[in-house]
Amino acid sequence: QVTLRESGPALVKPTQTLTLTCTFSGFSLSTSGMCVSWIRQPPGKALEWLARIDWDDDKYYSTSLKTRLTISKDTSKDQVVLTMTNMDPVDTATYYCARIKASAATFDYWGQGTLVTVSS
Amino acid sequence: DIQMTQSPSSLSASVGDRVTITCRASQSISNYLNWYQQKPAKAPKLLIYAASSLQSGVPSRFSGSGSGTDFTLTISSLQPEDFATYYCQQSYSTPWTFGQGTKVEIK
Residues A3-16: pLDDT tens digits? 999 999 999 999 99
Query: Burial level of A100, CB count in 10 A (0-12/13-18/19+)?
Result: buried
Instruction: Provide the total of helices (H) and of strands (E) in chain A, helices listed first.
Output: 0, 11
pLDDT at residue B73, as a whole number: 98
pLDDT at residue A60, as a whole number: 96
Q: Pick from B1, B44, B50: which is nearest to A47 by CB? A: B44
pLDDT at residue A102, as a whole number: 73
Residues 6 or more apart in contact with residue A43 via CB below 8 angstroms: A92, A93, A94
Would the pLDDT of A103 be above 90?
no
What average pLDDT score do residues A82-110 get? Answer: 94
Comparing alpha-carbon positions, the chain A residue that sits nearest to B95 is: A62
Could you tell me the CA-to-CA distances from A46 to A99, B49, B69 in Å, in that order? 19, 19, 20
Per-residue pLDDT band at A39 (split at 50, 70, 90): very high
| Best of A2, A40, A47 to mutate (most B CBs within 10 Å, chain B) | A47
pLDDT at residue B107, as a whole number: 86
Q: Residues A18-34: pLDDT tens digits?
A: 999 999 999 999 999 99
pLDDT at residue B82, as a whole number: 96
pLDDT at residue B99, as a whole number: 98
Query: Burial level of A44, CB count in 10 A (0-12/13-18/19+)?
Result: exposed
| Measured distance CA(B74)–CA(B64) in Å, rounded | 6
pLDDT at residue B41, as a whole number: 94
CB atoms within 10 A of CB B59: 13
Would the pLDDT of A101 be above 80?
no
Per-residue pLDDT band at A54 (split at 50, 70, 90): very high
> In degrees rounded to 5, what are phi and psi of residue A18?
-95, 135
Would the pLDDT of A94 be above 90?
yes
pLDDT at residue A41, as a whole number: 98
Q: Residues B58-90: pLDDT tens digits?
A: 999 999 999 999 999 999 999 999 999 999 999
| Residue B64 and residue B48 in contact, taking contact as beta carbons nearer than 8 Å | yes
Comparing alpha-carbon positions, the chain A residue that sits nearest to B2 is: A63
Query: Burial level of B64, CB count in 10 A (0-12/13-18/19+)?
Result: buried
pLDDT at residue A66, as a whole number: 96
| Best of B4, B96, B97, B100 to mutate (most A CBs within 10 Å, chain A) | B96
| Cβ of residue B5 closer than 8 Å to a chain A Cβ | no
CB atoms within 10 A of CB A43: 9
